[in-house]
Structure 1
């Protein structure tokens, strides 16, 4: 007899980790808002573009863990 598929706890846990990562990153970037806000507009744009992309880097191993239970391929 085939056992029914049991949902993994990793997906909800990973979802909360992703939300926590976003909140932490927003807090870190927000804590520098006074320094960044003092820069000219042309200098702020690359800072916010890069900081808006960099937070995605830790998601690949986290998503892999959510799907497979392993941190590396």
Structure 2
């Protein structure tokens, strides 16, 4: 599942935002997508599951690097 993103925070899915925004607003491709070069950020969730039931017992945000406040689940420590 898609529960997060890794890439430049100031980007469009990790790509320099100019070309994707241009394609979206005009409907016309004008160039190639280029990887963004800003500060990388990893965002997602950590889930601890019950071994017997397979159900989630804990879920917490994960954010590392970049511009967002760091979040590390206590159950990782």
Q: Same fold (TM over 0.5)?
A: no
TM-score (normalised: structure 2): 0.23
Higher relative contact order (CA 8 A, sep 6+): 1
Question: Which has the larger Rg?
Answer: 1
Higher helix proportion = 1
